[in-house]
Amino acid sequence: MTVLKFLFMVVSLIPLIYIRKSWHLVHTLVYLIMFMFILQGVYPYFMVGSGYFMSCDILSWGLVLLSFWICGLMFMASSTVYRSGYYSSFFLFMVLFLLIMLMCTFLSTNLFLFYLFFESSLIPTLFLILGWGYQPERIQAGMYLLFYTLLASLPLLIGIFSIYNQVGSLFMPFMLNEMLGKGDLIIYVALIFAFLVKMPMFLVHLWLPKAHVEAPVSGSMILAGVLLKLGGYGLLRMFMYLSSLGIKFNFVWVGISLVGGSLVSLICLRQTDLKGLVAYSSVAHMGMVIGGLMTMNTWGIMGSFTLMIGHGLCSSGLFCLTNITYERMGSRSLIINKGLMNFMPSMALWWFLLSSSNMAAPPSLNLLGEISLLNSLVGWSWGTMIMLGFLSFLSASYSLYLFSYSQHGKIYSGAYSCSSGFVREFLLLFLHWFPLNLLILKGEAMILWI
């Protein structure tokens, strides 16, 4: 019952959108529910409010908190929707619906319900991209998102039914490792491929940069902040049952992720679109997460969870910064967005702080995650050191490229002389950066949950 009440609280916010000017009311109440959820607390090794429909362990708890946090910040970032009155009530409804779907995904204990909500989170995301996106190509981006994810998820559904056939139940705690020890390669690929596409793994990542570039700022924030984490969460849940098969086959995914991460980092270095650069950097970071997860050792699993939370905050913050610049300059091109240190001096600090967190500089949570993942991958095989070296070096390179190219250089002659940020924008960026660097003081919550 303890977890269900939070779900009911969020559902009960939906009627409030019919009140005129209810934007700030809903925004405040989302944060209020989030703080109540924090106070509920969880223990490692323990499910809180366990039931046949929902329960919450520390893995779910961290990701539900991230969902609440990012959804609250989405309202703050999307003030243009509110000010222009562009279907703002429908926008509120979409964000709340997405939050409900994410909560259900992270909290459900039944594999079929998990699949159902996992897929349902696509619908509001698609509406956000199609309804509030900026460019005419957003329809194509939406189709990419839909077909990549749906096509990869159909085998997952068949895999879940096959588990039901073998075990006789889809209740997660009932399914023991031995039950699926006899599975074959087809079942193994069917069960994890949907999550690899969602992460996204290199080779099936093309939907992500497209979706990001076409999405409004809120769509980019939720995509980078939470929806990519659905893949990691699914893998963490599935490997409880697939460990015997994982030991045989996981080396394939580790190889693809590390080589792919390095290649994507090189693609980052030749991006001229600010949003494209941040989107491709997400693929590189997630490559590292997949690599760590697939080693299936303690360091890897702990590090992947840590980096997922860290990346969710950092990447979302960078998308906010990109949007703030886009609203002033009317373009996201790096060729026009040069010399921003002259144009928006007050934002240069935030560009620096979030770019440095993106390259896993201390004291960000990304550092804790990357150290754990380096440990896990090098412990798994010494050969990974070559690609990990490339990945770490190139990660620092494109973060530095993003910062120095946008902040330094000769300012574009068509721009105004100077511009400043609103208090709302500074608060928005602070609320991304502060938890990202504060959580490292409480690292055991991220690391010792296993």
pLDDT tens sequence across 173-226: 777 655 555 668 888 899 999 999 999 999 999 999 999 999 999 999 999 999
Q: Which is nearest to 449 in space by CA: 69, 68, 42?
A: 42
- For the CA atoms of 130, 132, 133, 134, the dihedral, rounded to the nearest 10 degrees, stands at 140
Q: Are 152 and 144 in contact (CB under 8 A)?
A: no
CB atoms within 10 A of CB 10: 21
b/e 380-391 (16+ beta carbons within 10 angstroms → b): beeebeebbebb
Q: Which is nearest to 66 in space by CA: 323, 414, 435?
A: 435
**Please, which residues have CB within 8 angstroms of residue 381's CB and are 6 or more apart in sequence?**
254
CA distance 308 to 316: 12
Cα-Cα-Cα-Cα dihedral sign, residues 284, 289, 293, 297 = positive
Question: What integer pLDDT is reported at residue 179 of this predicted model?
Answer: 55
CA distance 337 to 326: 9
Q: Are 109 and 26 in contact (CB under 8 A)?
A: no
Question: What integer pLDDT is reported at residue 192 of this predicted model?
Answer: 93
CA distance 139 to 145: 10
Q: Are 268 and 398 in contact (CB under 8 A)?
A: yes
Residue type, 194: A
CA distance 189 to 238: 11
- For the CA atoms of 172, 34, 68, 92, the dihedral, rounded to the nearest 10 degrees, stands at 120
Whether omega for the bond prior to residue 216 falls within 30 degrees of 0, making it cis, is no
Q: Are 355 and 230 in contact (CB under 8 A)?
A: no
Q: Which residue has the tokens 């460990």?
A: 243
pLDDT tens across the length of the chain (450 residues) = 588 999 999 999 999 998 988 999 999 999 999 999 999 888 777 777 778 888 898 899 999 999 999 999 999 999 999 999 899 999 999 999 999 999 999 999 999 999 999 999 999 999 999 999 988 899 999 999 999 999 999 999 999 998 888 888 888 877 765 555 566 888 889 999 999 999 999 999 999 999 999 999 999 999 999 999 999 999 999 887 888 888 889 999 999 999 999 999 999 999 999 999 999 999 999 999 999 999 999 999 999 999 999 999 999 999 999 999 999 998 999 999 999 999 999 999 999 999 999 999 999 999 999 999 999 999 999 999 999 999 999 999 999 999 999 999 988 888 878 888 899 999 999 999 999 999 999 888 778 776
Question: What integer pLDDT is reported at residue 423 of this predicted model?
Answer: 95
Question: What integer pLDDT is reported at residue 251 of this predicted model?
Answer: 95
